[in-house]
Structure 1
């Protein structure tokens, strides 16, 4: 089975109601996370994403009990994800639908964590405390912080990623801009978004220090 089947993304409110059953951390991701950060709708969405830590992956089978779950393994090809099966590193996308033949409704992404640190699946040199990975909207929805989501979108920006970047960049605090510039340079090298982040010159080139040496940061600063 390929990933070419139809998508009919679940509404954000439905996704939130489902995942609120989870006793483990989860965050709305993708373009919806950017919209939760900026506080208004930006564009239409052809899917909806939820981020879960790999160590908590079986929570997906709990909150979506009775659904079909398909792992992207190998990437570009889907296979059934069996009840109780642990998906190891290298498998980080799960497509979910209510039943056979139904459109795909929710995509779950798995990321790594170790000793309280989130580790990017793209580059373990990019990391931060799990406690600082997400934020919560005014109506209580947990979402991936915009600088982290934009870091993932920076790999090969599509038109919708450029739209999300343009909408989010103005709300990023200076420390968020610096973190994003450092992360992009660390993983992808030279990138047009770095100049658009308007960070000091020293952060427009790959720094010699590890990203563990984060700046002191007030996450509520705007």
Structure 2
């Protein structure tokens, strides 16, 4: 079944009544509508303000926060920047999911690496043909622009020509602000 991992996460999150979406490479594939490459894991994005709600939603799971590249048990403290990554493990069945905390300010999503970059909250998520929410590709690609790996470049190439004009312009402007020498800029012009 295509997008089996995404469907599984969507089922898991079906009762979560806060904003969330698939992130990373899977978000790119959901946008394109087909699996373009192999994925080793699955990430979801939520807003930082919803972190404890999320933790209480997946009750009984084991949580680790990533601090300076190392895993530490996440108790019930509010995680602040620079901590933005959580790993959750269901000890009963071995399911794992990576949670990426996203910043907001009022009615805007804010890029944690450069707060000059933002977009209205209603432009952060889209839905696949089967109703799975995902982080919009221009935001995913902005995150992938730092320390770009080959798989990130593949995701960019698979996406760039299918981005709507406004999303393409937004990504171009964001890259010019955050990574002004990035090779993707010329490919977007």
TM-score range, shorter chain: over 0.9
Within a 5 Å distance, the mapping from 1:9-158 to structure 2 comes to 11-73=5-67, 75-82=68-75, 84-99=76-91, 105-158=96-149
Aligned equivalents of 1:120, 1:22: Cα separation in 2:
23
1:158 Cα deviation from its structure 2 partner: 0.5
Structure 1 stretches of at least 4 aligned residues deviating more than 4 Å after TM superposition: none
Is the 2:84–2:101 Cα contact (8 Å) retained in structure 1? yes
1:64 Cα deviation from its structure 2 partner: 2.0
1:47 Cα deviation from its structure 2 partner: 1.1
1:126 Cα deviation from its structure 2 partner: 0.6
Aligned equivalents of 1:30, 1:160: Cα separation in 2:
11
Is the 2:63–2:86 Cα contact (8 Å) retained in structure 1? yes
Structure number with the higher helix fraction is: 2
Question: In structure 2, what is the equivalent of residue 203 of structure 1?
Answer: none
* Aligned-CA RMSD value: 1.6
How many residues end up aligned between the 2 structures?
186
5+ residue gaps, structure 1, are 1-9, 200-222
Deviation per CA, 1:86-124, whole angstroms, max 9, x where unpaired?
Answer: 111211000111129x86721000011011110011111
Aligned equivalents of 1:35, 1:183: Cα separation in 2:
22
Aligned equivalents of 1:23, 1:175: Cα separation in 2:
29
- TM-score, normalised with respect to structure 2: 0.93
Is the 1:18–1:63 Cα contact (8 Å) retained in structure 2? no
Deviation per CA, 1:52-94, whole angstroms, max 9, x where unpaired?
Answer: 1000112321332111110012x21111111x32111211000
Structure number with the higher strand fraction is: 2
Is the 2:111–2:118 Cα contact (8 Å) retained in structure 1? yes
5+ residue gaps, structure 2, are none
**1:180 partner SS:** helix
Within a 5 Å distance, the mapping from 1:168-183 to structure 2 comes to 168-183=159-174
Structure of greater Rg: 1
Is the 1:70–1:96 Cα contact (8 Å) retained in structure 2? yes
Deviation per CA, 1:121-178, whole angstroms, max 9, x where unpaired?
Answer: 1111010111111111111111011111001101111011011111111111122111
